[in-house]
């Protein structure tokens, strides 16, 4: 039986698209996206699953102002879809502890910096540019109650060019995320993720 994945989004959904493409293009891809949750009704990400059989759960921030109410609905949707793994693909809210504890070591996030550098901010790409670092990148990590601090599964480096701006740098970081995120999902589905206290390892990470 295919490994069942729930994806939470807020924005453009290019990472969601990378996951959808992996599933569509790789005949041996072992994971199946069964539900997508969004806290924004207008999120472009939702267009990417229109006309598919994937369940969509919209908990719009204007329609449902309290985070606890929104996220409890998301949790219900994840449970109803019997997901094995939750992927935060540009989801812009801190998860309720009750969601984190419902899926121990089974929620992953992609963050656009080399954590622990530039964690805890929605503007990690700009922060790296402002700081003048010469290399940044992206990190796929397990989600815990400590923001952007869960065990790291994989990272990729992206050198910063002198003429980079947020748009150009973000594009190169995202292209790394788009490669890594499907590999991380595959690793979970194939049972190749090991977690010990604050450290994680993906067996056979390419
Ligand atoms: C990603 O770059 C990720 O690092 C950050 O949010 C962005 C989402 O982009 N957490 P998209 O919605 O997948 O295009």
Q: How far apart are CA 171 and CA 166, in angstroms?
A: 8
Out of 15, 42, 47, 150, mutate this one to test ligand 1's pocket (max ligand atoms within 8 Å of CB): namely 15
Protein residue whose Cα sits closest to atom 7 of ligand 1: 90
Compute the distance from residue 60 Cα to the ligand 1 centre, in Å: 18
Pocket residues for ligand 1 (CB within 6 Å)?
A: 9, 11-16, 45, 89-90, 110-112, 174, 177
Give the pLDDT confidence score for residue 81 in this predicted structure: 98
State pTM to two decimals.
Answer: 0.97
Give the pLDDT confidence score for residue 148 in this predicted structure: 94
Residue 2 has which token pair?
């295919």
Give the pLDDT confidence score for residue 1 in this predicted structure: 73
What value does the mean pLDDT take over residues 20-43?
97
User: Which of ligand 1's atoms lies nearest the C-alpha of 16?
Assistant: 13
Compute the distance from residue 100 Cα to the ligand 1 centre, in Å: 20
Does residue 106 contact residue 85 with C-beta atoms inside 8 Å?
yes
Give the pLDDT confidence score for residue 197 in this predicted structure: 87
Residue 143 has which token pair?
């989600």
Whose tokens are 């701006």? That residue is 165
Active site members? 111
Helices (H), the chain: 14-25, 67-80, 97-102, 124-131, 166-189
What value does the mean pLDDT take over residues 122-134?
98
Contact partners, residue 64, CB within 8 Å, separation at least 6: 70, 73
Out of 7, 10, 11, mutate this one to test ligand 1's pocket (max ligand atoms within 8 Å of CB): namely 11
Q: What is the mean pLDDT of the chain?
A: 97
Please return the burial class of 78, using the count of CB atoms within 10 Å of its CB with bins 0-12, 13-18 and 19+. Answer: buried
């Amino acid at each position: 039986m295919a490994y069942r994945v729930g994806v939470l989004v807020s924005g453009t959904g290019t990472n969601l698209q990378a996951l959808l493409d992996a599933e569509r293009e790789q005949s041996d891809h072992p994971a199946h996206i069964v539900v997508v949750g969004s806290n924004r009704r207008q999120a472009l990400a939702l267009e990417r699953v229109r006309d598919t059989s994937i369940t969509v759960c919209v908990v719009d921030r204007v329609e449902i102002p309290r985070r606890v109410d929104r996220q409890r609905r998301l949790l219900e949707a994840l449970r109803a879809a019997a997901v094995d793994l939750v992927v935060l693909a540009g989801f812009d809210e801190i998860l309720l502890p009750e969601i984190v504890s419902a899926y121990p070591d089974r929620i992953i996030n992609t963050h656009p910096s080399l954590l622990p550098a530039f964690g805890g901010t929605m503007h990690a790409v700009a922060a790296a540019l402002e700081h003048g670092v010469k290399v940044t990148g992206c990190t796929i990590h397990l989600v815990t109650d400590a923001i952007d601090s869960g065990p790291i599964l994989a990272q990729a480096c992206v050198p910063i060019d002198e003429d980079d701006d947020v748009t150009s740098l973000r594009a190169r970081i995202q292209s790394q995320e788009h490669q890594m995120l499907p590999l991380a999902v595959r690793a979970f589905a194939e049972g190749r993720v090991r977690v010990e206290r604050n450290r994680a390892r993906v067996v056979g990470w390419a």
